[in-house]
Amino acid sequence: MESPERIRSKDARPNDARQGADTPEELEEARKLHRLQWMIGMVLSAIYQDPNLTVEQASELVANAKQAALGMFPGKELAFDLLYKPRLQRAMRDRFRLQ
């Protein structure tokens, strides 16, 4: 006979406690966050990989990404500046040898 711990761990899924607790608002926020992460990834890819991209175009991509992020998450400028701005700045420095 299996111990209760083994039965529970075998049947349990990750994040079981949260599975039934997701409200429509939480699901929508998770979708927006996933969309934002995908968008930032695309901007970073363009900065690093597009050989024809100019500094001005890359700066415009970054500015547009920030505006889109603030459109999805109003009032979260500080969060954007802490989470995504350093990655975008590093990409600009690496790609265009900026100071």
Q: Residues in the chain, how many?
A: 99
In eight-state DSSP terms, residue 20 is T
pLDDT at 85 > cutoff 80? yes
In eight-state DSSP terms, residue 3 is -
How much is the average pLDDT of 62-91? 97
pLDDT at 87 > cutoff 80? yes
Of the listed ranges 7-16, 53-62, 77-86, the least confidently predicted one is 7-16
Which pLDDT score, from 0 to 100, does residue 98 have?
A: 81
Q: List b or e across 40-55, with b for residues whose CB sees 16 or more CB atoms inside 10 angstroms.
A: beebbeebeeeeebee
Q: What CA–CA distance (Å, rounded) separates 42 from 21?
A: 31
Q: Which amino acid is at 67?
A: Q
pLDDT at 1 > cutoff 90? no
Q: Do the Cβ atoms of 87 and 44 come closer than 8 Å? A: yes
Over the Cα atoms of the chain, what is R_g?
20
94: nearest Cα among 39, 34, 53, 60: 53
